[in-house]
Structure 1
Amino acid sequence: MKHPLTLAALTLPLAGNLFADTSPTTLDTVVVTATRTATPATESLASVTVIDRAEIERRQSRSVPDLLRGVPGVTVSQNGGAGQVASVSLRGTNSDHVLVLIDGVRIGSATLGTSPLQDIPIEQIERIEVVRGPRSSLYGSEAIGGVIQIFTRRGGGPLAPRLSVGGGSFGTLSASAGLSGGGENGWFDLGANVERTDGIDACDGRPAPYAGCGVFQNDRDGYRNIGVNVRGGYRFSDWASLDLHLLSSQNRTEFDGTIYGGNRSRSEQQVLGGTLTLQPLSPWTLTLSAGHSWDKYRVYFDDEAAGIDDRFIDSFETERDTFSLQNDLNLAPGQMLTLGLDYTRDSVSGTVDYDKDSRDDVGVFGEYQGAFGPTSLTLSLRQDDDEQFGTHATGSAALGYLFANGIQVSASYGTAFKAPAFNDLYYPNYGNPDLDPEQSHSLELGLRGELPLGTIGQGDWELSLYQTDIDDLIAYDSTSYSAANIQSARILGLEASANARILGWDLGSTLTLLDPENDSDDANDGNLLPRRAEQTFQLDLDRAFDRWSFGATLFVSGRRFDDLANSERLAGYSLVDLRAEYAIDASLRLQARLENAFDEDYETAYLYNRPGRAFYLTLRYEPELP
């Protein structure tokens, strides 16, 4: 099996000035998130990383945040171990500046403005596309830093069962099962998984006014996840097909807290959607899609010593309805025009009384993609009409040129915005209904090409330089005791990555250098934005020997600060993960993973612990298809 990875800073001497690609998949991979149309990854003018199912299983990743760690431009911080709240930042922007989609449907909390990526069951994922850079001109609000789209297992082909069981450190147990098939014109996948762990002590609490959880509870904070995926579709003819999908995730999480804020949560995420694709004429493809997502979060307090059993504290619930109509018109070979309309309705409910509990947004967008010999051009424009903040226009332009030696140079510019979350607008004693959307403009320069490895192997590389300026950032204003548009930021970054297969070895690495500067006119001007590492580097090495395969990952993170004042410094750290797999036969594999092999003690959020050395075993059964 081929496992093309990435190769960057430590392996640059192999081919001179090699800064590498984001994609840990094959070169002919097709991506859809960057332009909302199917485009070969090598022809996309956007910075894209694609992680497929083979890569997920090869890396033996246990969660989506774990899988995203090391992707260029991505910063992950987590408030403890498995199942604890994880924040994912793209290109130094805020965690709520990332739009998250599951099979094209928006997910997340409209009150917080973020998505619970730690709760998405990784066993139900077929692939993930990470698009870095502004995408509001295609998707509307939230896509300042980029878009993360998760695709669930689709199925298709002959009937095929699958099964996995595993366990390991911290009392971790997991199991998953599935069945896929569909034949020549249909496809379906049915999957279910369960995982539970005793976890670690999430927070090394300190009394107020210290940061962190604010309390000290010397106990393990467990986690349980139950996931179900149902997806199916049928191609009725060459001009009509239908796809339906449902993903459900139910979670129980323990954390360190108080009788006022709770120390246990029960959450549920569900995504339901369908897509009808029609081709009335050969140059015209019409796509109709609709979706509904739920995000439910309930908080309880439990203290056996005090005789308190799951006392209810709070609840928050978001429901999102989405509808999209998209027309793709092939004007001529290499020339495509896309025209579309999006409708989104957010509704919130729970124990908090918001002045308004729903809002609508209608977005109209257009995109042109053209190829003129070695020159590529992409233009997009969108206008959103939001019930709360009115109309807002965004746009982007990208130009690329492919030289005869295979090196492509590109430049792009884009604007984006983020509508305030319901908490920012209406939360009692904090919200401000007069807030404006957060706005950004970004400039990016890119290079990509193939590694000149001759007869010893093959590979590719990519380098991106960018600057993003964000205005009207929302923060707490101590003078008005409410949320206000009082901050701004300037973010400079470099992303480099490559993949290579050399003499049977799969090598790879990614490098991110980030300068996320607070550009506000206050005491924090010039400081680094919180929880963004200034440098991250990842090196992968894998090799297969007959039935055996072995791999190792080195991840290095530079320092970061936990607060705007930069008074709480989090030191840099290095992690080494080791993995092995033995193919018992063509259908049965035994996997082993040693995480944090050198038992590094580190934090990605102040006072919140991260797991030490851990060992996991997984047995996977999946018959080899003819």
Structure 2
Amino acid sequence: MKSLPSHRSTAAWKPLALVSALATLSFPAVAQVETGQKLTPVTVSASRFENDPSLAPIGASVITAEQIREAGIGNVNEAIRKIGGVYGRQNLNGTSDFALDLRGFGGTSDNNMVVLVDGVRISENEQTVALMSMIPIESVERIEIVRGGSSVLYGEGATGGTIQIITKRGAADATHGTLFAEVGNRNSKEVRASLSKGWDKFSINANVGAVQTDNYRDRNSLKQENFSGGMQWALDQGRVGMRIDASRQNFDLPGGITWAQFLQNPKQAKDLANFSSIDSTLYTLFGERRIGNWELAADLSYRERQGDYFSPTYQSTYDGRSSQFSPRARHILKAGNVTNEFVVGFDIGRWGRNTTDSAGAADNAKQQSKALYIRDEIRFGKARVAAGVRHEIFDQSSRGGKIYDKKFSLNAWDLQGSYEITPIVSVFAKTGRSYRVANVDDNAYTVGNKLLEPQKSEDVELGVSLGDKSDKVTAKLFRHKLKNEIFYDSNIFNNINLDPTKREGIEIEGKKRLTSDFSLSAVLRHMSAKFSEGPYAGNEMTLVPRNTATVRLSWLPGNGQSADVGVQWIDSQRYSNDFTNACNSRAPSFTTLDARYAKRVGAWEFAITGANLTDKKYFSQAFGKCINDTQLGIYPDPGRSVKLSARMDF
């Protein structure tokens, strides 16, 4: 069951105001790039240390800053959906934080993947999406998408995979900045500003932004303010630094409507006086040090997340805190054409949340976790082989609505390999075990107040890549066999452990340079998600489209003009409560079209961007029941939007 959105608290913004003022008066912003300027790319998720891009995680999809810039993408979530081809469901509060689905987990997709910023986890220990909207798009150097089990390095919830957002670094002795403004229909307005300054060994940066929109539906207006900034010192054998990411959101909640209401007017709201707000602030300290063949690194993060929810009959507030400490070490040994990389690390996490409501009920929930992981990769000739294990101990407790204390431990492992048959043909394989732990919201609503068992998955993936950097296609066959999958059953309004389930399918990613001016990219997925045992054996899982397809065509003639056109098709889906597969109706399939044209004039770029240009009436969220083949709880997606923007780089 989805948790209520979170709260306001202006106190968290006081230190940010000071940092922002100092930054803008002196020399701000996250390391930016002038048009055409190239930064040396790095990867971090393969071993949680930086590596050459050629040693990115096996089977990973990489979205570069250049691709984001060419497509005119305005936020991180949009880049993952439109360029990475990841299916996303509309956020119920109208922000850009769509619930992304890497491997067909339907209504629990956001709890079956891990989102990280520079290695720091921002996924929540609640039934809420990770707030990627707090990460300014101008700060992103690359995004790595790893589909499939990744619990060895990143722990619980990584069965569907990981999304790693890697930010830019300041250039030495350079100053860069960006000013951006955009207006559109439905009273949409957005402004962003970024500035970075680098000296010989020190850099400082800051980004600020604000969004205001009425959104597509009635009673769904949104106001959001973001701040991101940091500083970094380069050492002879390492670096140290700090970073702050903050977001404040205020939004109205229109609620779900029926199928009949959707056909009549998809813009209408069910709830006319429901609203909420979320304040989220993430503080991060990081450091790295090289000593001979050893590299030492550590991240220390602290996050505050406050929220409130209001309706005429119910009010709720909560105050959440989480911290993470992740020290790790890597040893690299080279002998001839053989390289061995050994990594060992610890993840220590603490999370807590206090909630109160208008009925006088209060709840205090906590979770602590301690994990040890070891990973070793050997590279010889044209082959790579990696193996890893993780042991994690959990301590969960709750006081209030449900009282419990529970301690348990889980293990994960994986084995991966790749081989380059020729310079343009390579094959890879991955197998392992991943897991997900029931969070505080999962355990809050269960049958008979029974606590949920951990979810475990046996994961297998086989793949092949053909081509080079400009013309390449990658195909993957995958399978996830799950036991005790954690799922919300809207038939009984409770979270449950399902009978064994299975997801298997094929993913194809390709890109092709058609001419010097035109390039084409596509991401296709065919998925079978079914119960494998129990009374529903053979039945399809809910809210999982069997097929998805994303195709993009880019035009870059090199004369200051650019254009980008994208089409996404999503197959029909079973409604959220249809475990019996008895409902004759489904959430209909839909196709959306978006496009952008831009013209550069000196330091300025002017663009027109359109989304859902055919004004398709569709929905991707439907949590209610299917009664007499009529669906309840539909949350319509936006109709056509058109926006005009101006951007200056300096």
TM-score, normalised to structure 1, is: 0.84
Residues 46 and 55 of structure 2 are in contact (CA less than 8 Å); yes or no, is this contact kept in structure 1?
no
Residues 262 and 299 of structure 1 are in contact (CA less than 8 Å); yes or no, is this contact kept in structure 2?
no
Instruction: Please give the per-residue CA displacement for 1:269-312, whole angstroms capped at 9, x wherever unaligned.
Output: 221111111112x200000210012232211237xxxxxxxx87
Structure 1 residues 490-499 or 121-130, which shifts more? Answer: 121-130
- 433, 458, 461: which is aligned to 1:444? 461
User: Is 1:349 equivalent to 2:354 in the alignment?
Assistant: yes
The one-letter code of the counterpart of 1:246 is I
Higher relative contact order, chain-length normalized (CA < 8 Å, sep 6+): 1
Q: Secondary structure at the match of 2:441?
A: helix
- 584, 592, 616: which is aligned to 1:575? 592
User: Is 1:517 equivalent to 2:534 in the alignment?
Assistant: no
- 590, 594, 618: which is aligned to 2:645? 618
Structure 1 residues 76-85 or 292-301, which shifts more? Answer: 76-85
Residues 30 and 40 of structure 1 are in contact (CA less than 8 Å); yes or no, is this contact kept in structure 2?
yes
TM-superposed deviation, 1:151: 3.2
Gaps of 5+ in 2: 1-37, 256-268, 396-405, 623-633
Query: How far apart in 1 are the matches of 2:510 and 2:39?
Result: 12
Residues 80 and 609 of structure 1 are in contact (CA less than 8 Å); yes or no, is this contact kept in structure 2?
no
Residues 93 and 251 of structure 2 are in contact (CA less than 8 Å); yes or no, is this contact kept in structure 1?
no
Instruction: Label 1:107 to 1:153 Cα distance change in 2 as closer, same or farther (>3 A).
Output: same
TM-superposed deviation, 1:53: 2.8
The residue number in structure 2 matching 1:130 is 145
Residues 154 and 189 of structure 1 are in contact (CA less than 8 Å); yes or no, is this contact kept in structure 2?
no
The residue number in structure 2 matching 1:380 is 388
TM-superposed deviation, 1:331: 2.4
Q: How does 1:117-516 map to 2 (within 5 A)?
A: 117=132, 120-157=135-172, 158-201=174-217, 219-237=218-236, 239-257=237-255, 263-280=274-291, 282-301=292-311, 313-333=315-335, 334-351=339-356, 357-387=365-395, 388-425=406-443, 427=444, 432=449, 434-450=451-467, 458-475=470-487, 483-504=495-516, 505-516=518-529
Query: How far apart in 1 are the matches of 2:74 and 2:645?
Result: 11
TM-superposed deviation, 1:514: 1.0
TM-superposed deviation, 1:254: 1.0
Structure 1 residues 438-447 or 263-272, which shifts more? Answer: 263-272
Q: How does 1:22-171 map to 2 (within 5 A)?
A: 30-44=42-56, 46-70=58-82, 74-79=86-91, 82-83=94-95, 86-93=98-105, 94-112=109-127, 114-117=129-132, 120-157=135-172, 158-171=174-187
Instruction: Label 1:184 to 1:442 Cα distance change in 2 as closer, same or farther (>3 A).
Output: same
Instruction: Label 1:482 to 1:174 Cα distance change in 2 as closer, same or farther (>3 A).
Output: closer
Q: Secondary structure at the match of 1:83?
A: coil
Residues 27 and 41 of structure 1 are in contact (CA less than 8 Å); yes or no, is this contact kept in structure 2?
no
Residues 127 and 152 of structure 1 are in contact (CA less than 8 Å); yes or no, is this contact kept in structure 2?
yes
Query: How far apart in 2 are the matches of 1:372 and 1:240?
Result: 27
Instruction: Label 1:90 to 1:312 Cα distance change in 2 as closer, same or farther (>3 A).
Output: same
Query: How far apart in 2 are the matches of 1:27 and 1:496?
Result: 29
Query: How far apart in 1 are the matches of 2:593 and 2:289?
Result: 49
TM-superposed deviation, 1:483: 4.1
Instruction: Label 1:58 to 1:317 Cα distance change in 2 as closer, same or farther (>3 A).
Output: farther
Instruction: Please give the per-residue CA displacement for 1:412-463, whole angstroms capped at 9, x wherever unaligned.
Output: 10111111101222x2676846422111111000111315xxxxx9422211
Structure 1 residues 97-106 or 124-133, which shifts more? Answer: 124-133
Instruction: Label 1:354 to 1:142 Cα distance change in 2 as closer, same or farther (>3 A).
Output: farther
User: Is 1:535 equivalent to 2:547 in the alignment?
Assistant: yes
Residues 108 and 295 of structure 1 are in contact (CA less than 8 Å); yes or no, is this contact kept in structure 2?
no
Query: How far apart in 1 are the matches of 2:491 and 2:636?
Result: 34
Residues 290 and 323 of structure 1 are in contact (CA less than 8 Å); yes or no, is this contact kept in structure 2?
yes
Residues 532 and 560 of structure 1 are in contact (CA less than 8 Å); yes or no, is this contact kept in structure 2?
yes
Instruction: Label 1:479 to 1:598 Cα distance change in 2 as closer, same or farther (>3 A).
Output: closer
Query: How far apart in 1 are the matches of 2:564 and 2:381?
Result: 41
Query: How far apart in 2 are the matches of 1:120 and 1:236?
Result: 26
Structure 1 residues 480-489 or 99-108, which shifts more? Answer: 480-489
Query: How far apart in 1 are the matches of 2:64 and 2:51?
Result: 16
Residues 185 and 236 of structure 1 are in contact (CA less than 8 Å); yes or no, is this contact kept in structure 2?
yes
Residues 57 and 146 of structure 2 are in contact (CA less than 8 Å); yes or no, is this contact kept in structure 1?
no
Instruction: Label 1:599 to 1:483 Cα distance change in 2 as closer, same or farther (>3 A).
Output: closer
Residues 389 and 436 of structure 1 are in contact (CA less than 8 Å); yes or no, is this contact kept in structure 2?
no
The one-letter code of the counterpart of 1:378 is A
TM-superposed deviation, 1:197: 0.4
Query: How far apart in 2 are the matches of 1:617 and 1:481?
Result: 44
Query: How far apart in 2 are the matches of 1:507 and 1:81?
Result: 33
Q: Secondary structure at the match of 2:66?
A: helix
TM-superposed deviation, 1:336: 0.7
Residues 432 and 484 of structure 1 are in contact (CA less than 8 Å); yes or no, is this contact kept in structure 2?
no
Query: How far apart in 2 are the matches of 1:301 and 1:268?
Result: 19
Aligned residues: CA RMSD: 2.8
Instruction: Label 1:262 to 1:422 Cα distance change in 2 as closer, same or farther (>3 A).
Output: farther
Instruction: Please give the per-residue CA displacement for 1:178-220, whole angstroms capped at 9, x wherever unaligned.
Output: 110212322221110001001121xxxxxxxxxxxxxxxxx24
